[in-house]
A = this chain, B = another copy of it.
């Protein structure tokens, strides 16, 4: 008796070069693993399961991978957009005013938002991760977490634009210690659901010594280095002033470019930089929604893919995206790039879907465990109901419209059921592991308190 059989589905296994479509497909799961993928007829005859899900009229595909998200910023969703100087003027007051407790409360909102929109793996990169990671553990999701490390004093928002940031080694040491504690406590825990990475916030925000120490630690633990790279003018300006080099050149000069590096954004990376990174085996994490909204820019992801580099997608942070939904990222990746290149053929739907599944898994180093429906992999998958006005009808011939409609029309609420590590985390839109309304209400109370505190602070500054 195996634990779960899903049958009669339109399967997108994401095996092979495209999306691995199977009509009337089935997936057999035992405990946390996929033990068989194929036609319903065959699997139904072969396996007896404790639970059988009839997925007639539904699509089953690997759970989506959000390779870069700051869940700690969810509590101030939507307070900063349509503006210049997003970081300093927009999110600054909230970023500087929020408590660790509030960060943790807000973070759970993002986890639920993700689950309800098909995310099964969260590449969470934030601080204090020691608290945040408990939300992932409790919700039952897979995560790849890094405790963000910088050496920035907290009063940084008083700096003039263009002034070089002071770096404070005592801050770096404390945050590095926390990052190591996270690794020791959580890496490969929860049946392997939780994995860790080292997370320097940017080459401009930590000293060279600390960057090198973190790389050494990453090699010792066998984990990735997750870092923002080439985020734009502010960063480049700091790097030139401090080191006389742009970020990629600098990282190369200190031997940082290899396949354990995840480079997030590459907003203003040049063609040469992209080629160097891709050739070096570095992964690019592309966050189209966030960079489009905050900067009005489409990072060079097409060039990165053409150069043979590994690419994953991320939803980044709630203030300045303003959602954390991989259906939004897939669609944005596809259409923003068509607009950038004035060419509707670039980034077709199936490529976008691959970035959110199997390619994303490769980009974060979890391709042996997730990203496709394949025997031996972890049972992370979602069931999407196509019996919605916006996703129907389903046409299989002479063209198959399923992937196009998932990428260009689905919005996330069509994800009915989510299975992570073989456990049903959400069934028929009901999240089993966490009380959704309680999380929302708690977040609202925390936001009210944060909001009042910031209003008072502004008043006291003005008086």
Contacts and interface: CB of A to CB of B under 8 A. Distances in A.
The winner among A93, A295, A395 for most chain B CB atoms within 10 A is A395
Contact of A322 (B81, B347, B389, B409): B409
A452 B322 CA distance: 42
Interface residues of A, number: 85
A388 B75 CA distance: 13
Contact of A409 (B78, B349, B388, B404): B78
Contact of A297 (B339, B402, B447): B339
A393 B293 contact: no
A298 B392 contact: no
B292 A339 contact: yes
Contacts of A436: 389
A344 interface: yes
- Interface centre among A79, A321, A347, by most chain B C-beta atoms within 10 angstroms, is A79
A341 B298 CA distance: 12
Given A335-B293, A454-B398, A82 B389 contact: no
A289 to B, nearest CB: 8
Interface in A234-270: none
Contacts of A75: 393
Given A78-B401, A389-B110, A390-B323, A396 B292 contact: no
Contacts of A1: none
A50 B95 CA distance: 47
Contacts of A402: 78
A439 interface: yes
Contacts of A321: 408-409
A153 interface: no
Contact of A84 (B82, B345, B439): B345
Given A77-B393, A106-B393, A293-B335, 16 more contacts: A77-B392, A77-B401, A78-B409, A79-B399, A86-B344, A113-B389, A293-B408, A318-B409, A321-B409, A323-B409, A324-B390, A389-B436, A392-B440, A396-B451, A398-B451, A398-B454
